[in-house]
Amino acid sequence: MFDIIYNVLTYNRAEMAASSIGQLIEHQQPNSLIDVIDDCSTEDISPVRSLFKMQPEPATKQRRLTVNERNLGLEINHICKLNDPIYDEQEFVYLADNDVEYSRSFGRELQRLKQFMTDDPAIFASTLFNVHNDWHLETEDYGVGHVVKTSFGGVSILIRAKDFRDAMDFYLSPEYLGIRGWDWAVCHFAQLQKKKMVSSRMSFVQHIGLYGVNTSPTNNDIADNFVA
């Protein structure tokens, strides 16, 4: 079992994806895996492939690139992406987008979140991307520098692999009557479990992709409190 697996889904936009994944590699912790899934991109992804040509030193920091044989789309990929047996015994997984910028403090802050979740099993999921809007409300303080939220999006989520799989099973079941979207299902499932969604007060991840399959300048979450 790895201390953490960083899981990234990518499709086209190879230069941006390579930059984002490259930053993640800089923050990679020992005894970890960066697990990237390309959803059968139609554009040249050689910038991304180049990051995986050589395994890093030390060998405890591993990387894996999987290229889907056909395009499955965002929803199906997120629902299925932890089905690989490598996640069967895995505890923590960090779910990331391919169009983000990471703060210089990202690695340290992610470790803090992981420790919070280890110490407090009542935390279902946590994030380093704290967007302020009418959907994702802060309800209370959680220690110093963190808050409990009603919900948050899927740009940056730390969660236990088993909990994520259970949330996706719930999403696919007739019981789920919430807003469509795998990340909303995570939030709804947490509420049913009476568990907390915790966020850093400041953002240590910034969403920079303005154009994509599911994003546009008018349909996009951008943090106004990003710490570079």
Residue 213 has pLDDT above 90, yes or no: no
Give the Cα separation of 146 and 140 in Å (integer): 9
Q: How do residues 69-126 score in pLDDT, each as one tens digit?
A: 999 999 999 999 999 999 999 999 999 999 999 999 999 999 999 999 999 999 999 9
For the chain, which residues make up each domain, given as ranges? 4-207
Nearest to 182 by CA among 196, 164, 160, 195: 164
Compute the 3-state secondary structure of the chain and give helix, strand, coil in percent, each to the nearest 5: 30, 25, 45
In this structure, which amino acid lies at residue 148?
A: V
Tell how far CA 1 is from the center of its chain. Answer: 19
- pLDDT, residue 215, reads 46
Q: Domain 4-207: what homologous superfamily?
A: Spore Coat Polysaccharide Biosynthesis Protein SpsA; Chain A (3.90.550.10)
CA 22, 26, 27, 32 dihedral sign is positive
Region 202-211: mean pLDDT is 83
pLDDT of the residue at 209: 63
Residues 130-163 pLDDT 10s:
998 888 999 999 999 999 999 999 999 999 999 9
pLDDT band at 59 (very low <50, low <70, confident <90, very high): confident
68, 156, 228 from 209: Cα distances, Å: 22, 14, 16
Cβ atoms of residues 69 and 88 within 8 Å? no
Q: What mean pLDDT do residues 52-69 have? A: 87
pLDDT in tens, 172-196: 999 999 889 999 999 999 999 999 9
For range 55-65, the mean pLDDT: 84
Per the CB < 8 A criterion, the answer to whether 220 and 207 are in contact is yes
pLDDT at position 216 is 38
26-42 residue pLDDT tens: 999 999 999 999 999 99
Per-residue pLDDT band for 220 (boundaries 50, 70, 90) equals: low
pLDDT value of residue 222: 87
